Amino acid sequence: MLPKGASREAVLPLLDDLGGLRPGTSDEVRQRSGVPAADVYGVGTFYSLLREPEAGVRVCQGLSCQLHGCEDLKADLDAAGVANTWASCLGRCDVAPASWDPDAEEPPVTTHLSPDDPDLPLNLSGRDAESYDALRRVRREGPEWLLGELETSGLSGRGGAGFPAHIKWRAIRNQEETERYVVLNADEGEPGTFKDREVMLRRPHLVIEGLAIAAEVLEARDVYLYTRGEFRRAVHAMERAVEEAKTRGDLDDELRWHFVEGHGAYICGEETALLESLEGKRGMPRMKPPFPVEKGFRGKPTLIQNVETIANMTAIVLRGGQWWKDLGATQPGTKLYCMSGHVNKPGVYEAPMGTSMAELLELAGGVDGTLKAFSPGGASSGYLPASKVDVTMDFKSLQEEGCMLGSAGVVVLNETVDMVEAALHQAIFFEYESCGQCSPCRIGTQIVRQTLERYLENRDPAALSHLDEVSWGMEQASICGLGQAASWPLTSAIKYFPGEFGRSA
Amino acid sequence: MSDSKKQFIVIDGNELSFEDGETVLQVAARAEIEIPTLCWDPRLEPAGACRMCLVEVEGARLMQPACSYKAASGMVVRTQTDKVRRNQQFIVALHQADTVQTREEAESNEPSKLWSHADLYGTAGPWPAVEQVRADRPLDDNRFIQYRPEHCILCSLCTRYCDQVEAVSAISLAGRGATTTISTADRVALTDSTCELCGGCVDVCPTGAMSDKPALLWGKPEKELEKVQTTCNFCGVGCQIQLNVDREANRVVKVTAPDPGTTVNDGNTCVKGRFANDFVHHEERLTTPLVRGDDGGLHPATWDEALDRAAQGLIRIAEQHGPDSLAFVSSSRCTGEENYLVQKMARAAFRTHNVHQCAAT
């Protein structure tokens, strides 16, 4: 029997099966799901991959692609008569400028990685761990042992928030409700970030084993893997891993694996928006509290972890929480740093948490040109100037700089970049990806983008006069992290490069 | 009330008791502490979207929406701080930049809660107008409801009302971010959707973005009309409605509903109560009873004359052909009491069980 609410959950898969939203589609989905047609239309129009089924090639205009000539790429496609449209991020910053045809096979990406080293927990260049010894050990030692190791390790969320994992896990175990869910947040969409893509492609068994451990410890029967729709190869890799592990008898037969594709909405990486999307709704973040550990998917206790976070479970179990913790330089563990923009070897580098920016630049083959600024953790993190190159790249140090590590999607800018334009690129991203639910974010992101465009016309600083107040309100009053951080690229660019905004230092 | 220990929350220094599940806004309202809102309605689940009602909660990093934030024992809330006021002015300025630019335009028809908030709480603006891109429905030729995106603040009161109160779901938030708008499926006309034209969306709209089409055409702002409360006479429920009267023209321009919580209909009306009022001024409207004369034509008469004639006819038929040759059908516009009287007349006065009510089938 379908669980309550299941027909609602069918809305997005139905829209996808029908090839996106065309006239009449909403009504067809209504007939099959019982969800009102206007509601279906509202859901369909929310998602970029559903609302424009005939848009053609999607050209990425994320920051790294802007730095590598996405405008030229789009102009070439236009000239060749190829139907195309802008996409705000495709998660392929290492091969910028990126483009993607949803109707064609996803082209493979060869990226730079840290060299094979068995002492790296994720070791993306190594062989995937297929033993499932960690899962067996957890079954043997019991949940309390695992939670102890997890706490010792100091593992914190690698999606951007940096929240300690063991607190979430314990909170769920303490719930009286026994219907619980485990959700993998693989909706990687932060411009500059492509680490989860590589983990899923290269170490799918690490991801599956981590999820199986979570389900074991939290006594969940269902695992949902919510992966961004552009990452089809990654989904296939994980599906294969589940099949292999099942065939070998490594996984509990009663554990159900649900693969769910995202449909082109950055905000669904926000965990409560992701839950809304899983439930077949517009991906608008929920009010918190209650938090998902208490009321998550279908209103039940739900663990949501990022791909990189969950993939570290195997190493923590097999080599111990203390071993894992000691890998870090300033904070526990290793971190996958995504290097793109003006660097010579863009790629994913696994390095001790708290590696300095200067060392990361070295790993990535040095700066292409002279370092001017960098964005340390995706679009939301804002910019730091070259003078901060010695900052240690961890959650704490960057927060002290008024910045954040976020997803560690590092974008490097050289001396050719105009910081007003750099701020504008991020503003375009946030305006396009705002869910539109709350007014500070929906209207604020429009004001920031339109004001910067007006300023670029004649560089009259008077045009910027209201931006301080708008930025303040966006940060203070938005519902979720998107709106709260959406003005940081602008405010940080003004702070460190006041001259380019017509202000004195 | 349960006998559990009373719980208290402190708002602006006042210790206030509350029940489990109550929001900060509800507790504050009971103590007459005013917290401004734009997207809140007592009939709906709070959306927390407009951010007008943000207040400071001790221990929370950011301000929290009073409309959805649940009161908890020992919670300390402040509604009058500089930060709270700064936010109120920010929110007003944002929406002013994103909608029509002048008060005159904003209130050319319905009054705007946004602009009355600007009077009470101030604005951080004016800021340059946002080049807004919300789609309307140009091909929607329904006669009663007009969506004007340039007035819309996307508070979603209309869509939540349509879903949660009427259970009709004819309209939804559509699109994303800057393009978010209010739409039917495939942007069809309301009359081609599940819409029942109850006009609740017009009533809950704080800025006149969902507007009464006939009143828009009439052209006079609502604040210049006089509201006359009356009982809707389309059925027996007894809904209270307000006739909005243009005294100069001596004309009912539109119907609005009294505030939710004040009357039996809780601020709701149906399509007839809200929009079927053009008969009031119709030139063929009957204003006296008509009685057929010897010439075969209908002639104005008094109520006494008309009732006498009807009584004579009924008595004559009953005497000539027996009581069961008569049947009584009462109107769906009758009240329960009136229906009772009709059956009483049929059974006691005319001794027949042939009695029915047109809404009973």
B1 or B138: which carries more pLDDT confidence?
B138
Substitution target from B44, B61, B94 for chain A, most A beta carbons within 10 A: B94
Collect all residues of chain B within an 8 Å Cβ-Cβ radius of residue A439: 49-51, 91, 94-95, 98, 153-154
Q: What is the mean pLDDT of residues B50-72?
A: 97
Any A CB within 8 A of B173 CB = yes
pLDDT of residue A129: 78
Same fold, A112-324 and A419-501: no
Which stretches of A34-164 are DSSP H helices?
37-44, 48-51, 63-67, 70-79, 133-141, 143-153
Domains and CATH numbers, chain B: 7-80 (3.10.20.740), 225-285 (2.20.25.90), 290-357 (3.40.50.740)
pLDDT for A4 beyond 60: no
Instruction: Report d(CA B290, CA B292) in Å as an integer.
Output: 7
Q: What is the mean pLDDT of residues B66-76?
A: 97
pLDDT for B71 beyond 60: yes
- What's the pLDDT tens digit per position in B250-279? 999 999 999 999 999 999 999 999 999 999
Collect all residues of chain A within an 8 Å Cβ-Cβ radius of residue B173: 42, 282, 436
Q: Report yes or no: A324 and A304 within 8 Å, Cβ to Cβ.
A: no
Instruction: Find out whether the peptide bond into A290 is cis, omega within 30 degrees of 0.
Output: yes
Q: Report DSSP state, residue B348.
A: I
A27, A282, A440: residue with CB nearest B94:
A440
Q: Report yes or no: B196 and B168 within 8 Å, Cβ to Cβ.
A: yes
A48, A442, A478: residue with CB nearest B154:
A442
Q: Report yes or no: B168 and B270 within 8 Å, Cβ to Cβ.
A: no
- What's the pLDDT tens digit per position in A482-502? 999 999 999 999 999 999 999
Please report which confidence band the pLDDT of residue A504 belongs to, taking 50, 70 and 90 as the band edges. confident
Beta strands B76-78 and B7-11 are: parallel
- What's the pLDDT tens digit per position in B306-345? 999 999 999 999 999 999 999 999 998 888 899 999 999 9
pTM of the model: 0.94
Collect all residues of chain B within an 8 Å Cβ-Cβ radius of residue A23: 186
pLDDT for B166 beyond 50: yes
CATH of span A112-324: 3.40.50.11540
Any A CB within 8 A of B13 CB = no
Any A CB within 8 A of B127 CB = yes
**Cβ–Cβ gap B127/A473 under 8 Å:** no
**Nearest-by-CA chain B residue for A475:** B62
Three-class SS state of A310: helix
Please report which confidence band the pLDDT of residue A103 belongs to, taking 50, 70 and 90 as the band edges. confident
Mean pLDDT (chain A, rounded): 95
Domain limits, chain A? 6-45, 112-324, 330-412, 419-501
Instruction: Report d(CA A231, CA B201) in Å as an integer.
Output: 41
Instruction: Report d(CA B191, CA B143) in Å as an integer.
Output: 9
Write out the two tokens for B32: 């007459």
pLDDT for B245 beyond 90: yes
pLDDT of residue A5: 52
**Cβ–Cβ gap A45/B183 under 8 Å:** yes
Any A CB within 8 A of B121 CB = no
Please report which confidence band the pLDDT of residue B4 belongs to, taking 50, 70 and 90 as the band edges. low
* Nearby residues of B248 by Cβ (< 8 Å), 6 or more positions away: none
**Cβ–Cβ gap B184/A466 under 8 Å:** no
Instruction: Report d(CA A229, CA B358) in Å as an integer.
Output: 56
Q: Is B203 exposed, middle or buried (0-12, 13-18, 19+ CB in 10 A)?
A: buried
pLDDT of residue A110: 87
**Cβ–Cβ gap B48/A287 under 8 Å:** yes
Any A CB within 8 A of B23 CB = no
**Nearest-by-CA chain A residue for B130:** A447
Please report which confidence band the pLDDT of residue A2 belongs to, taking 50, 70 and 90 as the band edges. very low
pLDDT of residue A391: 97
Q: What is the mean pLDDT of residues A57-81?
A: 95
Q: What is the mean pLDDT of residues A125-133?
A: 91
Instruction: Report d(CA B240, CA B256) in Å as an integer.
Output: 9
Q: What is the mean pLDDT of residues A56-71?
A: 94
> Within a 10 A sphere around the Cβ of B59, how many other Cβ atoms?
8
Q: Report yes or no: A335 and A393 within 8 Å, Cβ to Cβ.
A: yes
A41, A287, A433: residue with CB nearest B172:
A41
pLDDT of residue A245: 97
**Cβ–Cβ gap B193/A38 under 8 Å:** yes
**Cβ–Cβ gap B127/A470 under 8 Å:** yes
**Cβ–Cβ gap B94/A472 under 8 Å:** no
- What's the pLDDT tens digit per position in A316-337? 999 999 999 999 999 999 999 9
A26, A30, A436: residue with CB nearest B180:
A436
pLDDT for B25 beyond 50: yes
Domain A330-412 is of which CATH architecture?
A: Roll (3.10)
Instruction: Report d(CA A483, CA A398) in Å as an integer.
Output: 19
A440, A442, A472: residue with CB nearest B178:
A442
Q: What is the mean pLDDT of residues A355-376?
A: 98
Please report which confidence band the pLDDT of residue A1 belongs to, taking 50, 70 and 90 as the band edges. very low
Instruction: Find out whether the peptide bond into B126 is cis, omega within 30 degrees of 0.
Output: yes
Reference A285, options A479, A445, A8; nearest CA is: A479
**Nearest-by-CA chain A residue for B167:** A36
Collect all residues of chain B within an 8 Å Cβ-Cβ radius of residue A429: none
Q: Report yes or no: A392 and A354 within 8 Å, Cβ to Cβ.
A: yes
A46, A289, A470: residue with CB nearest B176:
A46
Q: Which class is domain A419-501? A: mainly alpha
B125, B130, B186: residue with CB nearest A450:
B130
Instruction: Report d(CA A44, CA A57) in Å as an integer.
Output: 19
- What's the pLDDT tens digit per position in A193-238? 999 999 999 999 999 999 999 999 999 999 999 999 999 999 999 9
Distance from CA of A46 to the nearest CA of B (A): 5
Write out the two tokens for B206: 């704080």
What values do phi and psi take at A240, rounded to 5?
A: -60, -40
Element (H, E) at A258: strand A256-261
Q: How does DSSP assign B31-54, residue by residue?
A: TT-----SS--TTS-----S-TTE
Residues 299-358, chain B, touching A (beta carbon < 8 A): none
Residues 380-399, chain A, touching B (beta carbon < 8 A): none
pLDDT for B1 beyond 50: no
Burial B314-337 (b: 16+ CB within 10 A, else e): eeeebeeeebeebebebeeebeee
Q: What is the mean pLDDT of residues A236-257?
A: 96
What values do phi and psi take at B326, rounded to 5?
A: -100, 150
pLDDT of residue A113: 97
Side-chain half-sphere of A133: how many Cα atoms within 13 Å? 8
Instruction: Report d(CA A446, CA B114) in Å as an integer.
Output: 20
Mean pLDDT (chain B, rounded): 95
**Cβ–Cβ gap B87/A473 under 8 Å:** yes
**Cβ–Cβ gap A470/B184 under 8 Å:** no
Substitution target from A88, A263, A438 for chain B, most B beta carbons within 10 A: A438
pLDDT of residue A319: 97
pLDDT for A505 beyond 80: no
Residues 232-291, chain A, touching B (beta carbon < 8 A): 265, 282, 287, 289
Reference A88, options A482, A426, A453; nearest CA is: A426
> Within a 10 A sphere around the Cβ of A24, how many other Cβ atoms?
12
Q: Which amino acid, one-letter code, is at B240? A: Q
Collect all residues of chain A within an 8 Å Cβ-Cβ radius of residue B63: 476-477
- What's the pLDDT tens digit per position in B115-151? 999 999 999 999 999 998 999 998 899 999 999 999 9
pLDDT for A3 beyond 80: no
Which stretches of chain B are DSSP H helices?
24-30, 82-98, 103-106, 113-121, 157-164, 200-204, 213-218, 271-275, 303-321, 336-344
Q: Sign of the CA dihedral A8, A12, A18, A20?
A: positive
| ipTM of the shown complex | 0.94
Collect all residues of chain A within an 8 Å Cβ-Cβ radius of residue B170: 36, 38
Reference B211, options B287, B102, B108; nearest CA is: B108
Instruction: Find out whether the peptide bond into B149 is cis, omega within 30 degrees of 0.
Output: no
